[in-house]
Amino acid sequence: MNPSNADIRQFILDSFNDDDFEIFYTDYFRDALAEFGSGMSLRIRALRLIEYCQRRELVDHLLSALQAERAQLYAQRFAPTAAPPPSQPPTQTPMNASVSQG
């Protein structure tokens, strides 16, 4: 499953507080620090980090970093759901089957 930008942003908002997110992007995306201004909300910083990753084709790295930092939450949110087993076609009796009378 490839989460949408909105899914990634919501995951960040649900999984990190301001301080934790600052530590996260400093640890994994130090070059992105210039994207963030003082006083930016968590929501805007999450948006800016996603945009930064998209421009540099780092979205897979972002997802891997989120998974590493919040493994259980990531699995709950983004784990692929198992496909239901294929259903068996119903057994049908032929319409013109002869009934033996005895």
- pTM of the complete model beyond 0.85: no
| Each residue's pLDDT expressed in tens, for the chain with a length of 102 residues | 689 999 999 999 999 999 999 999 999 999 999 999 889 999 999 999 999 999 999 999 999 999 999 999 999 999 876 555 555 555 555 555 555 555
Listing DSSP states for the chain in one string gives: ----HHHHHHHHHHH--HHHHHHHHHHH-GGGGGG--TT--HHHHHHHHHHHHHHTT-HHHHHHHHHHHSHHHHHHHHPPPPPPPPPPPPP---TTPPPP--
